[in-house]
Structure 1
Amino acid sequence: MMNTTLSDLLTETNLANSSGNATDCASDVLMQQILEKFVPKSIFVDRYTTPILYVIGFPGNILSFIIWIQRRMRHSSGYYLAAIALSDLFFLALQIVYELQNAWFISLLDFPVLCEGYPVLFLTCQYLPPLLVFGFTVERYISVCHPFHRERYCTTRRAKIVITSLVVLSFSLSAIQAYFWTYDTKCKTCSPRRWTIETPFWTAWTWIVELLIFLLVPVLVLIFNILVILEVNHLSKVEKTQLHGNEHRTSATTIMLLSVSFYLIFTVLPVTVTVSLFTKFPQGDTTLSEAEMRSNPVWQRYFSYVFAKTIISEIGLTHFVCNFYIYLITGKQFRKELEKLVMSVLCSKLSAHRPSEYTTLFTSMRDSSAKAANAGNSVNGHTVIPVNKANNARNESETVVENTAGVTLL
């Protein structure tokens, strides 16, 4: 997560400032060498765990987005979940660049414009999902705890407005990063501007924003979830018989959304706490020899902290990966829509003429209308008689019989 990234950059900057022998240009290289030599298991976990998350996350987010934009799933909560899937998808794509830059030490961001623009996009995609989770958590709270206000606040139109506002808010909070970062033409690297290092503004801004997004928002989500759970239990006891059908439907949706909310809390808060402790584990003296570093208690505490932070950060990344599987486990309607989507794809592979809800429903309806309109055309050598013409012919036949009967009687 990016709060981990910023703390990494802050600590690397502190290393450059505290080391008398390390120049500004050599500090990053020195840090890479130290980590590769003394914390190889951390590098291994970072390099080979994240690709597994990509393999799981990309298909899941793509399928989630496709399903949540289907017509039957476009309720207000569905719009939030579709936005989360899309944001997670963009984040994972940007995370690949970050992973190559920081775990594999491949310089992809050391270019003008890209250096300044990447942090803005990366942070926007990272700030957005917790805010979206908070958005639908508040909506669920209103729907369950204040049902008389549901029609006013829990609408698709209001959901679109809130989502757009949250996107603007996330981008606004991240936009200043374009000024914090710059391409160093001397070192040919992407690094913070010198004034941001020498003044506390960058550190203060980073901590305020990230504590807001990754601490305050999850805590508020937890509070609203507790209120929702208490209200659901209360309704289950008081109106168990009268509202049995409606209660079951509301509870099923609520359970799915609560699962997403609690998973956010479970993955984000530990990362936030871990990052907040980085000042408690300072780096040691870089002038020490290799043998002295291995026995130095300051360096050993720092190396242990780096490894623990790597594990917790990888767990934190699953928040951008596992929502699809939460929907699959807790969402009955989501499973039905996924089944229809899979069957439509399979049917399109097996037979191009077989109607499918997602791909050929419109074509099927159009063909049916065309057949009704083109009455009288020949089908398999037989003439199809229009319904209205058949009725007219039958009426005329009956009239002739009646007239004939009248003549006979006369």
Structure 2
Amino acid sequence: MGYPVIFQIERVYYPALAAIGVTVNLVAIVILNRGNCGLSRCITRYLVAMSAADLLLVIINVILNRINNLYFPVSFLFITPVCALRVVLSLAALDCSVWFTVAFTFDRFVAICCQKLKPRYCTERTAAVVIVTVSVVSCFRSIPWYFVFVPSIIVNNIPWFCTQTPDYFTSSLWIVYEWIDSFLTPLFPFVLILVFNALTIRNILTANRIRRGLRGYSNAETHIDPEMENRRKSIVLLFALSANFILLWITYVVHSLNWRVINYNYTDKNLSNPIYVAQQFGFMLRLLSSCTNTCIYALTQTKFREELKNGAKYPFTLIVKLFK
């Protein structure tokens, strides 16, 4: 009897995702840190943090969790304390990735809509403080999950595998904690991103209309306004990153909400069950968001594309110089 289709897809999908995700996030971190992309140091801080969180997410969640579970069903990573630690680190990296996106969205909202607050908030120092704060809070918020798991079996006094403690399904404390955790990641971020983007769009449309009026433009005229052009380029990056996050997370969010309402204690892991398949596709899309940001940078930022091309040409240029 062959493997179910979803299992076969996962065995190909996750190794490919790991190879691409590690490569593109490392490339993004190197290029952004060079500071030649024409972005402010504040924006660069957030983008580097997002790429670093995505890189950790690929390493921990995709490689150490998904690929390890698919290809190495028995390894030291399945010793219960290590297994529980993997879950905690995976959730912390996921939390950072999500909230760095929210922090970046809020920073751009302040820069565009709150001119009085902008000089104080949209600085490299503030970005560093926000990034460190989000990282610390995400780590501490993930620690309780370590205590959810107990060993499935004990062999030679060594606890193996992770299974949820019975109290997890019956304790009101754990039930409330999981609902709060689900609200904080990603339901609340979803709402924040949508609200900040809606307010930003409204502000931009109003400002553009006023600016055209002051400059004597009619809607039919096609004059190039440098200020409006710069504003357009900055918001394209913001909206592309936000839309990417929302589109790739929506399947997971809808499934998660739907199943918590219908059947909180869902434990059917039948690989052919439609609900389980939908859940796994939600996981796949959610993790795909960890390696799409670099593609967005390349599509929306001209100088990032130039740096990428220069980096790709460098090994060949070096070889030519060596043989001259």
TM-score relative to the length of structure 1? 0.67
Secondary structure, in 3 states, of the residue corresponding to 2:78? coil
Equivalent in the alignment of 1:93: 59
Match of 1:114 in 2: 82
Whether the 8 Å contact between 1:181 and 1:191 is mirrored in structure 2 is: yes
Matched, 1:270 2:251: yes
Following superposition of structure 1 onto structure 2, how do residues 249-398 of structure 1 map, counting pairs within 5 Å? 249-278=230-259, 280=262, 303-351=273-321
Q: SS of 2:154's equivalent?
A: coil
Query: Equivalents in 1 of 2:241, 2:117: separation in Å?
Result: 24
1:124 counterpart residue number = 92
Is 1:212 matched up with 2:184? yes
Counterpart-to-counterpart distance in 1, 2:319 and 2:206: 49
Residue in structure 1 matched with residue 137 of structure 2 by the alignment: 169
1:62 aligns with 2:26: yes
Which has the higher relative contact order, 1 or 2, with Cα contacts under 8 A spaced 6 or more apart?
2
For residues 218 and 43 of structure 1, the distance between their equivalents in structure 2, rounded to whole angstroms, comes to: 29
Aligned length: 305
The alpha carbon displacement at 1:283 in A equals 6.8
Task: Specify the alignment match of 1:247 in structure 2.
Answer: 228
Provide the rounded CA distance (Å) in 2 between the counterparts of 1:306 and 1:89: 27
What is the aligned-residue RMSD (CA, Å)?
A: 2.9
Q: Secondary structure at the match of 2:116?
A: helix
Moved more, 337-346 or 172-181: 337-346
Deviations along 1:344-380, one digit per CA (max 9) or x if unpaired, are 44433332699xxxxxxxxxxxxxxxxxxxxxxxxxx
**AA partner of residue 303 (structure 2):** Q
Rounded to whole Å, the distance in 2 between the matches of 1:278 and 1:148 is: 44
User: Where does the alignment leave 5 or more consecutive residues of structure 1 unmatched?
Assistant: 1-35, 287-298, 355-410
1:267–1:316 CA contact under 8 A, matched in 2: yes
In structure 1, what residue type is equivalent to 2:173?
Answer: F
1:139 CA displacement: 0.8
Q: 1:284 to 1:180 in 2, by over 3 A?
A: closer
Q: Aligned equivalents of 1:210 and 1:189: distance in 2? A: 24
Tell me, yes or no, if the aligned pair for 1:215 and 1:272 is still in contact at 8 Å: yes
Percent identical among aligned pairs is: 21
The C-alpha deviation readout for 1:302-344, integer Å capped at 9, x for no partner, is 8111122222322222111111111111112322232333344
Contact 1:61–1:86 (CA<8 Å) still a contact in 2? yes
Q: Is the 8 A contact 2:85 2:146 kept in 1?
A: yes
Separation in 2, partners of 1:338, 1:189: 43
Report what 2:218 is aligned to: none
Q: Of the two, which has the highest radius of gyration?
A: 1
**SS of corresponding position for 1:239:** helix
Q: Equivalents in 2 of 1:116, 1:311: separation in Å?
A: 23
Please state if 1:140 is matched with 2:113: no
CA contact 1:211–1:272 (8 Å) conserved in 2: no
Q: How many Å apart are 1:170 and its aligned residue?
A: 0.7
Aligned equivalents of 1:236 and 1:182: distance in 2?
Answer: 58
1:125 and 1:59 mapped to 2: Cα distance? 18
Aligned letter for 2:4? P
Q: Can you give the 5+ residue segments of structure 2 that lack an aligned partner in the other structure?
A: 216-223
Q: 1:79 aligns with which of 39, 45, 68?
A: 45
Structure 2 length normalisation: TM-score?
0.84
| 3-state secondary structure, aligned to 1:186 | strand
> Distance in 1 between the 2:285 and 2:67 partners?
19
Bigger Cα displacement from structure 2, 178-187 vs 257-266? 178-187
1:133, 1:334 → 2: CA distance?
19
What letter is aligned with 1:158? T
2:219 is matched with which residue? Answer: none
After superposition, residues 42-53 of structure 1 pair within 5 angstroms as 42-53=6-17
Query: 1:205-233: per-residue Cα shift (whole Å, max 9, x none)?
Result: 22311221111111110110111112222
User: Contact 2:57/2:94 (CA < 8 Å) preserved in 1?
Assistant: yes
